[in-house]
């Protein structure tokens, strides 16, 4: 039995194919590449029941991941995050079957660990010794730390306004870290120049094909944790869109394997009102988005004005009869407070946006009675201490508290 059943890479736009044994970036037509597996062979040798008892990390799905030799796996124990029921929040928004997939409980505190673990592992397998990437913060933090673990040098460029903690995580890992007074798109331009000049591997979102595979494991886990009965709706905070593309890919592969039945969950791309290119494209029935000028939101990870894989995100929404929703910053920050006070869950602003979207879609009747709804919390709230402002009384020593 093989460790991985990867067969090749393919271009979803022009159908060109590529070897996974070589370093690949975008297709010559400019599209991201996707990974294909020999699902027929895999289906003959592996059953979903055989997963029981495996290591509680995303590597339990190694046959459906691109790393061919186990010795190249770079891991900090990522994956198999909790799928929690949210009864009080659920009652509050009239969604009795509300669940949270909590990606705060993972190394580096965000789901970016998944893409980094698989991306860095495959980079190691391909003999890459130095990589570079632009980031809104969390991905850079995760890739810096996993690169350090894998013995790979990283160069990271992030906006000066990115959450400070992510800057520190990158710096302490020994990454070559740079800040830019601009957006992730500005960081991306600098990285493009740098990789050309110095011949580094470009690990930008979707310019390397393997981080989708890491993020795909969120979909595999949701299916397994629900005993292979798919939920009705999955809401995902969408920036570059890798997570939602990955979840769609995972569920499609499970369907082909015959491990799940019925309709795929309706996938909801949740964006911030101050940066909603996918929502606008979806509302207009388009298959690609337009650059969103002067974007701004407290949910920093989803401040992506134009995603290179936008057509794949929109395809995932259309194919699952999903939708796209934009949430105002004050509304998502209010939801973040509610989650902490009603459920004890201190989620990141991006994660809070998915709950706000669920509430709105329920009010509008788009989410129906008794549907099983999974909201993705993509990171822990404590990575964003500055989104919370509190007024706390200060006592003199010995002073009594007056109620
Ligand atoms: C916490 C958080 N949530 C969501 C996202 C968006 O991720 P994706 O590229 O999968 O859309 C990011 C990206 O930086 C993030 O940091
Ligand atoms: Zn192509």
Beta carbons of 372 and 358 less than 8 angstroms apart: no
For the chain, percent of residues with pLDDT exceeding 70? 100
In which band, very low, low, confident or very high, does the pLDDT at 230 lie, cut at 50, 70 and 90? very high
Q: What is the pLDDT of residue 387?
A: 83
Q: What pLDDT, in 10s, does the model give residues 235-246? A: 999 999 999 999
What CA–CA distance (Å, rounded) separates 119 from 188?
18
Distance 341 CA to ligand 1 centre (A): 24
Q: Is the CB of 138 under 6 A from ligand 1?
A: yes
Beta carbons of 255 and 223 less than 8 angstroms apart: no
Angle between helices 310-319 and 242-257 (to 10 degrees): 50
How confident is the model over 180-197, as a mean pLDDT? 94
pLDDT at 390 over 90: no
Instruction: Name the pTM for this structure.
Output: 0.96
**What residue has token string 């459906």?**
64
Indicate the average pLDDT of the chain: 96
Q: What is the pLDDT of residue 37?
A: 98
Beta carbons of 352 and 332 less than 8 angstroms apart: yes
Distance 71 CA to ligand 1 centre (A): 29
Q: What is the pLDDT of residue 299?
A: 93
Q: Is the CB of 116 under 6 A from ligand 1?
A: no
Q: What is the pLDDT of residue 194?
A: 94
Atom 12, ligand 1: residue with shortest CA distance: 301
In which band, very low, low, confident or very high, does the pLDDT at 17 lie, cut at 50, 70 and 90? very high
Beta carbons of 241 and 310 less than 8 angstroms apart: yes
Query: Which residues, in sequence order, are bridge partners of residue 237?
Result: 270
DSSP states of 288-299 = S----TT---S-
Beta carbons of 184 and 157 less than 8 angstroms apart: no
How confident is the model over 196-211, as a mean pLDDT? 94
What CA–CA distance (Å, rounded) separates 332 from 346?
13
Distance 9 CA to ligand 2 centre (A): 11
Q: Residue 102: name the closest of 298, 347, 382 by CA.
A: 347
Q: Where are the alpha helices (DSSP H) in 112-241?
A: 112-125, 138-150, 164-172, 184-198, 211-225
Q: Which of 357, 378, 379, 382 to mutate to test the pocket of ligand 1 (most atoms within 8 A of CB)?
A: 378
Q: Residue 282: name the closest of 184, 290, 274 by CA.
A: 290
Distance 398 CA to ligand 1 centre (A): 46
In which band, very low, low, confident or very high, does the pLDDT at 403 lie, cut at 50, 70 and 90? confident
Q: What pLDDT, in 10s, does the model give residues 255-291? A: 999 999 999 999 999 999 999 999 999 999 999 999 9
């Amino acid at each position: 039995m093989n460790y991985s059943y990867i067969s090749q890479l393919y271009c979803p736009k022009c159908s060109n194919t590529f070897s996974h044994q070589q370093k690949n970036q975008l297709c010559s037509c400019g599209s991201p590449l996707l990974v294909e597996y020999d699902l027929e062979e895999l289906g003959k040798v592996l059953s979903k029941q055989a997963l029981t008892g495996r290591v509680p990390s995303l590597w339990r799905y190694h046959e459906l991941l691109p790393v061919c030799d186990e010795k190249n796996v770079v891991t900090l124990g990522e994956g198999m995050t909790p799928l929690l029921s949210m009864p009080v929040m659920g009652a509050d928004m009239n969604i009795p079957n509300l669940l949270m997939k909590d990606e705060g409980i993972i190394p580096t505190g965000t789901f970016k660990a998944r893409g980094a673990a698989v991306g860095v592992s495959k980079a190691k397998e391909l003999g890459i010794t130095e990589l570079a990437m632009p980031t809104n913060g969390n991905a850079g933090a995760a890739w810096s730390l996993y690169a350090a673990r894998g013995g790979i040098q990283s160069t990271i460029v992030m906006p000066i306004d990115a959450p400070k903690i992510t800057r520190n995580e990158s710096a302490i890992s020994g990454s070559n870290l740079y800040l830019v007074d601009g957006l992730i798109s500005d960081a991306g331009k600098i990285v493009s120049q740098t990789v050309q000049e110095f011949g580094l591997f470009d690990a930008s979102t979707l310019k390397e094909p393997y981080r989708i595979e890491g993020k795909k494991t969120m979909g595999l886990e949701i299916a397994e944790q629900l005993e292979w009965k798919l939920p009705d709706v999955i809401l995902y905070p969408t920036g570059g869109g890798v997570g939602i593309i990955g979840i769609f890919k995972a569920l499609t592969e499970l369907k082909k394997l015959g491990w799940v039945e019925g309709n795929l969950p309706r996938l909801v791309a949740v964006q911030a009102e101050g940066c909603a290119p996918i929502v606008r494209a979806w509302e207009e029935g388009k298959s690609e988005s337009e650059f969103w000028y002067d974007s701004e939101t407290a949910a920093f990870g989803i401040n992506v004005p134009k995603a290179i894989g936008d057509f794949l995100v929109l395809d995932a929404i259309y194919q699952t009869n999903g939708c796209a929703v934009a949430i105002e910053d004050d509304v998502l920050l209010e939801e973040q407070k509610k989650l902490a006070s009603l459920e004890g869950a201190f989620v990141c602003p991006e994660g809070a946006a998915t709950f706000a979207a669920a509430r709105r879609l329920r009010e509008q009747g788009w989410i129906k009675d008794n549907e099983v709804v999974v909201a993705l919390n993509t990171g822990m709230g404590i990575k964003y201490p500055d989104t919370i402002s509190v007024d706390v009384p200060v006592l003199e020593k010995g002073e009594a508290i007056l109620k």
